[in-house]
Amino acid sequence: MKILVCISHVPDTTSKINFINGDTEFDTNGVQFVINPNDEFGLTRAIWFKEQQGASVTVVNVGGTDAEATLRKALAIGADEAIRINANPSDGMFVATELAAVVKAGNYDLVIAGKESLDYNGGMVPGMLAGLLGFNFVNSCIGLDVNGTEAKAIREIDGGKETVSTSLPLVIGGQKGLVEEKDLRIPNMRGIMMARTKALDVKEPTTTETASKAVKFEKPAAKSAVKLISADNIDELIDLLHNEAKVI
């Protein structure tokens, strides 16, 4: 089984977010970038398939040279090879189109992507990718087993879980739960050294067209100050809830 894991290069969730050039560009100064958490769950599941079923695992990213450190980490975790599409991932359809070209060229059986990246939170690339390829698709996936060409997936739905049977070729949009957090891999020294010798193939994009672009970014409004009311002053609390907060 050939597995392709889509990796997004995203800011660490503890990073302080700022914008420059009239709020039209993200300020990367001082920001630590990591593997998108949803993608990390998918990568760990792919490595499990490699260890248990002899699958081959390739990771792919659409991004600039700065993303290569993230791809090298994925290689250190256990991926066999990496591909970087040398382009700015500014549009979901553009990213899906480039990923589709990689899948077709590599004849992959299973494509594991995070259901969304934690920078733009678009949640569109896995579904678009499946549509472009004509592959089966399971989103919000929290469990996956493969036996030959048959697959059984568990996905999160409103109020519960749903188990579905499908077949390869398959695209999944994975998330937390695909593996347990305790099972996430931390690169060891041997993995880091081996990652230096593994292939990292840089490809040019197949197109330069994008369907949309970000015009301007805006931060959420700052939280207002908290008012503390004495526990003995119930009347003032009721008055504020009624006349100021207007929740009663």
pLDDT digits (tens, 9 = 90+) for 170-228: 999 999 999 999 999 888 898 999 898 898 999 999 988 888 888 999 888 888 888 88
Domain that holds residue 111: 2-220
Tell me if 237 is assigned to some domain. no
Give the CATH number for residue 135. 3.40.50.620
State the CB neighbour count (10 A cutoff) for residue 61: 26
Tell me if 143 is assigned to some domain. yes
pTM of the prediction? 0.87
pLDDT band at 86 (very low <50, low <70, confident <90, very high): very high
Number of domains forming the structure of the chain: 1
Tell me if 246 is assigned to some domain. no
Tell me if 233 is assigned to some domain. no
| Cα end-to-end distance, the chain, whole Å | 59
Which residue in 59, 99, 50 sits closest to 82, CA to CA?
59
State the CB neighbour count (10 A cutoff) for residue 146: 21
pLDDT band at 87 (very low <50, low <70, confident <90, very high): very high
Tell me if 247 is assigned to some domain. no
* Percent of the residues in the chain that have a pLDDT greater than 90, as a whole number: 72
Tell me if 27 is assigned to some domain. yes
pLDDT band at 246 (very low <50, low <70, confident <90, very high): confident
Contact 173, 114 (CB under 8 A): yes
Which residue in 49, 41, 167 sits closest to 116, CA to CA?
41
